[in-house]
Amino acid sequence: MTAALLLPSPAMAAPGQAIISTDLVRTMVLLTLLSVAPAIFLSMTSFLRTIVVLTMVRHAFGMPETPPNPVLISLALFLTAFTMAPTLSVVNREALKPLLAGDVSVEQAVDRGSAPLRQFMLAQTRDSDIESIYAIAKEPVPQTAEQVDLLKLTPAFILNELRVSFTIGFVILLPFLLIDLVVSSILLSLGMMMVPPATISLPIKILMFVLIDGWGLVVQGVLGSFR
């Protein structure tokens, strides 16, 4: 009888085991989210458009290593945090905090967290991009925006981001191209064919970019392109 008293009954052990099991599941879900967080950050936020435009600005100068990659990535990260602050605050309030507190299940947290990201991506993505992805998948296009599958919305959003970033990049590259053409024409007319045009055009492009506050204009243009 003494041994029987020392052994926990199934009714007594079940609540503790349930709590431990729930904590383990919650920990596994959080670790999984952390592992896929970089992919989510790259494909479902404004980071993609921002880093592509900043990289094209660097190539417009003819200096592929200046500013260095860590500088551009850091700037893109802070600009993304500024752009996505309203969306991320909703995700934190509606999904992350309740999940950590144990107030909602994992499925509910995923649904609540994906809803703000879905709204952000739908606001940026054209209907034609969504239709193209559904045409590739050979599935009918949903009637409402709420019915759009997140796995199909994400590639449509990426296509739109690449299109917009290349459009902005073309506007940025055009003045620098004109400077290169003018410098090349002047050198050719002076018979200085052995002088590389980049030797003279690079300081001119940097001076023009600084005088017009180019980085400020680029940042304003990128941030203003988001809806």
Q: What is the pLDDT of residues 156-197, one digit of tens each?
A: 899 998 999 999 888 888 888 888 888 888 877 877 777 677
Say how many C-beta atoms besides its own lie within 10 A of residue 109's C-beta: 23
Answer whether 211's CB lies under 8 Å from 47's CB. no
Average pLDDT, the chain: 79
Q: Is the pLDDT of residue 11 over 50?
A: no
The whole model's pTM is what? 0.75
Q: Which of 1, 49, 31 is nearest to 168 (CA)?
A: 49
Answer whether 95's CB lies under 8 Å from 105's CB. no
Q: What is the pLDDT of residues 85-133, one digit of tens each?
A: 888 888 878 777 777 777 777 677 777 777 888 888 888 888 888 888 8
- Give the chain's end-to-end CA distance (angstroms, integer): 72
